[in-house]
Amino acid sequence: PSSLRYFPEQREPETNASAALPAKLLLSGIKKTHKNNNKKRTITKKREKVQLCRVNPAPSQNAGRGSGPEESPVAALHAPVATETLEFGVGDSPVTPQPPLVPAEAGPLPQGPSFPPLPEPAARSSPSEPALPAGPHWAYEGPHGQQHWPEGHPACGGRAQSPIDIRTQWAQPDPSLPPIRPVGQPGTPAFTLSNNGHTAVLALPPSLRLQGLPRSFAAAQLHFHWGRPGHAGGAEHLLDGHRAPAEMHVVHYDAERYTNASEAQHHAGGLAVLGVLLEVGADPHPTYDNILSHLGSIRYAGQTTAIPSFSVQDLLPPRLDLYYRYNGSLTTPPCFQSVLWTLFQQPVRISLAQLEQLQGTLYTTTAAEPEPQRLVDNFRVPQELNQRLVLSSFPRGPEGYSTGEVIAIIFGTISSCLGLFLAIHFVAKRMRARRAQDQDVVFKASSHRTHSDDGPRP
Ligand SMILES: [Zn+2]
């Protein structure tokens, strides 16, 4: 069925072959080439698997979508198209004129070849260059809110959108998924941090690479999604319905096939994004301070600042071998369905003060606007899973029950059995006693009857 096609909404002649692959093949990558004779059999098998898997998840995704306040906000991912000069491109090379990468309002999606490539690495923004996206205006709520995104950005209405609520028990373990391995050095003394009106974006040099994916991916940028002060939720991806306080996305592009993220975002599997859930812990995370302590310099939309470079991989959780993998999209307009998602199972903990810096420092408005609007709740509601498979790099077992839970279950079972035994024992005992009593009564009654039979006779 056509529903098995992976990136069906995008018109991408170059990627037809991969688009036709079932989810799992595309997800786990390369190892299978299309020419193999065994292939057909493999595909058939995988299709069966996909079919099986999809019986249950879809309804639950629906179930996860409520109308609570948590649901309406959301996502700010890679807002590449309209914002690519900013989000993908702020690098270290000399300033070059950048053509405005503005998709026509409500027009067809720009096609890869006709989309002007961005010089890579792109120019570092100077104070005179606004870091604001051009293109159709969008927001998380209101008249340009996420319900309206598909009107100006058709891909936002597609069937492989992000984020999603991952039902961990339905994720399919795939032991062949290797650990994620970040490699390379920044090679630059400074990074550029920007407020693009939707999120805080840190431009990353392509010398930072990612291994452990189907191809070699180069870093483009990272950014954040968060909620608002005093509210628990702000992340985009949910794990079993739980929304963490914030989420970081590290965007990479397929450097083997494309020259930059702006080009790669138009092609299925062109981008690889690492998702890191941020939870609140007791201590501040020193590496996150490299970014968060500079937010005060980019308070208003359009502002940028240079910050000393640091080890980006120290922002990731310790276990890079534990993750969920699925095919999805940018979580902000233009919502292109070109992202190979990796959501780490482990969260990273930052302090409450650090979270509050994220929630309370930035404005979605420029410094010139008369009414400042806080940049909060920049997360998208979970999207339908539809025909997609979610893989996990680890077996399901260990996640199910902790040792404590196993002990509790064993203890509970023994207690229940004991209780049942005692109940049966006492019931039986009481029944025996009652039966003995009944016999006694019968005996007396019959003897009494006998007696009365002998009673007065006419
Ligand atoms: Zn994001």
Query: What is the SS3 string spanning the chain?
Result: CHHHCCCCCCCCHHHHHHHCCCHHHHHHHHHCCCCCCHHHHHHHHHHHHHHHHHCCHHHHHHHHCCCCCCCCCCCCCCCHHHHHHHHCCCCCECCCCCCCCCCCCCCCCCCCCCCCCCCCCCECCCCCCCCCCCCCCCCCCCCCCHHHHHHHCHHHHCCCCCCCEECHHHCEECCCCCCCEEECCCCCCEEEEEECCCCEEEECCCCCEEECCCCCEEEEEEEEEECCCCCCCCCCCEECCEECCEEEEEEEEECCCCCCHHHHCCCCCCEEEEEEEEEEECCCCHHHHHHHCCHHHHCCCCCEEEEECCCHHHHCCCCCCCEEEEEECCCCCCCCCCEEEEEECCCEEEEHHHHHHHHHCCECCCCCCCCCCECCCCCCCCCCCCCCCCEECCCCHHHHCCHHHHHHHHHHHHHHHHHHHHHHHHHHHHHHHHHHHHHHHHHHHHHHHHHHHCCCCC
* Pair 239, 304 in one domain: yes
Percent of the chain whose pLDDT exceeds 90? 56
* Pair 163, 301 in one domain: yes
The per-residue pLDDT for range 44-66, each reduced to its tens digit, is 343 333 332 232 333 333 333 33
Rg of the chain taking only CA atoms, in angstroms = 30
Q: 28 or 358: whose pLDDT is higher?
A: 358
Q: 76 or 396: whose pLDDT is higher?
A: 396
In a domain, 19, yes or no: yes
- Range 108-130 average pLDDT: 32
The per-residue pLDDT for range 224-248, each reduced to its tens digit, is 999 999 999 999 999 999 999 999 9
* Pair 271, 412 in one domain: no
* Pair 310, 440 in one domain: no
* Pair 389, 411 in one domain: no
- What's the CA-to-centroid distance between 250 and ligand 1, angstroms? 8
State how beta strands 209-211 and 181-183 pair.
antiparallel
Q: For residue 288, what are its two tokens? A: 């996150």
- Rounded to an integer, what distance in angstroms lies between the CA atom of residue 29 and that of residue 117? 26
- What's the CA-to-centroid distance between 432 and ligand 1, angstroms? 71
- What's the CA-to-centroid distance between 317 and ligand 1, angstroms? 17
Q: What is the CATH number of the domain that holds 304?
A: 3.10.200.10
- What's the CA-to-centroid distance between 431 and ligand 1, angstroms? 68
The count of domains in the chain is 2
In a domain, 41, yes or no: yes
Length, in residues, of the chain = 458
Q: Residue 383: is it exposed, middle or buried by C-beta count within 10 angstroms (0-12/13-18/19+)? A: buried
* Pair 353, 438 in one domain: no
Q: Give the active site residues.
A: 198
In a domain, 110, yes or no: yes
- What's the CA-to-centroid distance between 32 and ligand 1, angstroms? 30
What band does 135 get if pLDDT is binned at 50, 70 and 90?
low
The per-residue pLDDT for range 279-309, each reduced to its tens digit, is 999 999 999 999 999 999 999 999 999 999 9
What band does 406 get if pLDDT is binned at 50, 70 and 90?
low
What band does 358 get if pLDDT is binned at 50, 70 and 90?
very high
* Pair 104, 137 in one domain: yes
Closest CA to 221 of 246, 237, 238, 200: 200
- What's the CA-to-centroid distance between 411 and ligand 1, angstroms? 44
Closest CA to 8 of 342, 337, 385, 270: 337
- What's the CA-to-centroid distance between 126 and ligand 1, angstroms? 24
pLDDT of residue 101: 26
- What's the CA-to-centroid distance between 362 and ligand 1, angstroms? 16
In a domain, 72, yes or no: yes
What band does 129 get if pLDDT is binned at 50, 70 and 90?
very low
CA 296 to chain centre: 28
In a domain, 166, yes or no: yes
- Rounded to an integer, what distance in angstroms lies between the CA atom of residue 448 and that of residue 445? 5
Mark which of 382, 400, 418 sits at the end of a domain: 400
Q: 415 or 109: whose pLDDT is higher?
A: 415
The per-residue pLDDT for range 244-279, each reduced to its tens digit, is 999 999 999 999 999 999 999 999 999 999 999 999
* Pair 388, 414 in one domain: no
Contact between residue 99 and residue 110 where contact means Cβ atoms under 8 Å apart: no
* Pair 430, 344 in one domain: no
- What's the CA-to-centroid distance between 222 and ligand 1, angstroms? 8
For residue 434, pLDDT over 70 is answered with yes
Torsion from C-alpha of 298, 251, 292, 313, nearest 10 degrees: -150
- Rounded to an integer, what distance in angstroms lies between the CA atom of residue 458 and that of residue 263? 119
Q: 417 or 190: whose pLDDT is higher?
A: 190
Amino acid at 165: D
- What's the CA-to-centroid distance between 386 and ligand 1, angstroms? 21
- Rounded to an integer, what distance in angstroms lies between the CA atom of residue 46 and that of residue 83? 38
In a domain, 451, yes or no: no
Contact between residue 186 and residue 312 where contact means Cβ atoms under 8 Å apart: yes
- Rounded to an integer, what distance in angstroms lies between the CA atom of residue 166 and that of residue 173? 13
pLDDT of residue 144: 95
For residue 41, pLDDT over 50 is answered with no
Q: Which of 63-77, 82-96, 412-426, 432-446 has the lowest mean pLDDT?
A: 63-77
Torsion from C-alpha of 154, 156, 157, 163, nearest 10 degrees: 170
- What's the CA-to-centroid distance between 129 and ligand 1, angstroms? 23
* Pair 437, 319 in one domain: no
Q: Which of 86-95, 138-147, 200-209, 357-366 has the lowest mean pLDDT?
A: 86-95
- Rounded to an integer, what distance in angstroms lies between the CA atom of residue 26 and that of residue 268? 9
- Range 339-366 average pLDDT: 98
- Range 352-372 average pLDDT: 98
pLDDT of residue 134: 57
pLDDT of residue 422: 81
- What's the CA-to-centroid distance between 326 and ligand 1, angstroms? 15
Q: 416 or 10: whose pLDDT is higher?
A: 416
Contact between residue 233 and residue 378 where contact means Cβ atoms under 8 Å apart: no
Mean pLDDT taken over the chain = 74
CB under 5 Å of ion ligand 1: residues: 77, 249
- Range 203-207 average pLDDT: 98
Q: 340 or 134: whose pLDDT is higher?
A: 340
Q: 108 or 344: whose pLDDT is higher?
A: 344
In a domain, 449, yes or no: no
For residue 401, pLDDT over 90 is answered with no
- What's the CA-to-centroid distance between 12 and ligand 1, angstroms? 23
For residue 176, pLDDT over 80 is answered with yes
CA angle at 175 for the pair 169 and 178, rounded to the nearest 5°: 115
* Pair 280, 369 in one domain: yes
* Pair 432, 376 in one domain: no
pLDDT of residue 133: 59
For residue 323, pLDDT over 90 is answered with yes
In a domain, 375, yes or no: yes
Domain membership of residue 48 as a residue range: 2-400
Closest CA to 132 of 75, 73, 92, 82: 82
